[in-house]
Amino acid sequence: MIPLYGFLEGDTIGLLVLANGDDSLAEVASKLQSAARLRAVIDGPITVLCGGQPIDPNTTVTEAGLQPLARVDVRRGRSA
Amino acid sequence: MLKRDDWLDLARKLDWELSYVSERDAFPEVQSGRPWLPQTDWAGWDEPFRTSYPEYVAGQQAKEASVAAVRAAVGRLEDFQRLPPGWLESLKLHAATLPLAEFAAVVGNLRAARFGRDSAWRSAALFGALDEMRHTQIPLLLMHDLVRWDPQFDWTHKLFHTNNWVAIAARHLADELLLASDAIEFAIATNFVFETGFTNVQFVGLSALAHGVGDRMFEQMVGSIQTDEARHAQIGAPVLATVVKHDRQRAQYLLDKWFWRSWLLFAVVTGFSMDYLTPLAHRQSSFKEFMHEWVLDQFVRSLDEFGLERPWYWDLFLEALDNYHHMVYASAYSYRASVWFNFVVPGPDERAWLREKYPASWPDFDPIWQRISDRWRASDPGNDFAVHGTAIVSFCDLCQLVLSGGTPRDNAANILDHGGRRYVFCSRPCRWIFEQEPDRYAAHKDIVKRVLAGEAPANLVALVQRYFGLDYATWGRDAFGGVYPWLDRSRP
Segment B255-276, tens digit of pLDDT: 999 999 999 999 999 999 999 9
Helix, strand or coil, per DSSP, at residue B322: helix
Half-sphere exposure of residue B469, counting CA atoms within 13 Å on the CB side? 17
- Between chain A and chain B, the number of residue pairs with CB atoms below 8 A apart is 94
- Residues B411, A67: C-beta atoms closer than 8 Å: no
Instruction: Measure Cα distances from B449 to A14, B412, B423, B458 in Å.
Output: 15, 20, 10, 11
User: H-helix or E-strand containing B336?
Assistant: none
Q: How far is B374 from chain A (nearest CA, A)?
A: 10
In whole angstroms, give the CA distance from residue A47 to residue A62: 18
For A38, the closest of B364, B389, B410 (CB atoms) is B389
Predicted structure pTM score: 0.96
Q: What are phi and psi of B52, to 5 degrees?
A: -95, 165
In whole angstroms, give the CA distance from residue A80 to residue B462: 43
For B415, the closest of A12, A35, A71 (CB atoms) is A71
User: Shortest CA distance to A6 belongs to which of A55, A73, A61?
Assistant: A73
Residue B122 has pLDDT above 90, yes or no: yes
Lowest mean pLDDT among A25-34, B1-10, B149-158, B437-446: B1-10
- Give me the percent of chain B exceeding a pLDDT of 90: 87
Residues in chain B: 492
In whole angstroms, give the CA distance from residue B328 to residue B264: 10
Residue B491 has pLDDT above 70, yes or no: no
List, for residues B329-352, the tens digit of each pLDDT value.
999 999 999 999 999 999 999 999
Helix, strand or coil, per DSSP, at residue B345: coil
Which B-chain residues 416-475 have CB contacts (< 8 A) with chain A?
422, 424, 448, 451-452
Confidence of residue B492 (pLDDT cuts 50, 70, 90): low
Q: What is the pLDDT of residue A80?
A: 60
Cβ-contact B415, B423 below 8 angstroms: yes
Which A-chain residues 15-54 have CB contacts (< 8 A) with chain B?
15-17, 35-36, 38-41
**CB contacts, 8 Å: B391 with chain A:** 15-17, 35-36
Q: What is the pLDDT of residue B489?
A: 82
User: Shortest CA distance to B90 belongs to which of B167, B143, B149?
Assistant: B143
Q: What mean pLDDT is predicted for residues B213-231?
A: 91
Q: What is the mean pLDDT of chain B?
A: 95
Instruction: Identify which has the larger pLDDT, B75 or B356.
Output: B356
Q: What is the pLDDT of residue B74?
A: 87
Q: What is the pLDDT along chain A (80 residues), one digit of tens a residue?
A: 999 999 999 999 999 999 999 999 999 999 999 999 999 999 999 999 998 999 999 999 999 999 999 999 999 998 76
Cα B460–chain centre separation: 26
**CB contacts, 8 Å: A40 with chain B:** 367-368, 371, 408
> Is B367's Cβ below 8 Å from some Cβ in A?
yes
In whole angstroms, give the CA distance from residue B438 to residue B398: 10
Q: What is the pLDDT of residue B202?
A: 79
Cβ-contact B324, B456 below 8 angstroms: no
Q: What is the pLDDT of residue B109?
A: 98
List, for residues B441-484, the tens digit of each pLDDT value.
999 999 999 999 999 999 999 999 999 999 999 999 999 999 99
- Residues A5, B424: C-beta atoms closer than 8 Å: yes
Q: What mean pLDDT is predicted for residues B187-200?
A: 91
- Residues A14, B411: C-beta atoms closer than 8 Å: yes
Q: What is the pLDDT of residue B201?
A: 77
Q: What sign does the CA torsion over B203, B209, B212, B218 have?
A: negative
Strand partners, A8: A74
Residue B194 has pLDDT above 80, yes or no: yes
Q: What is the pLDDT of residue B208?
A: 85
- Residues B413, A38: C-beta atoms closer than 8 Å: no
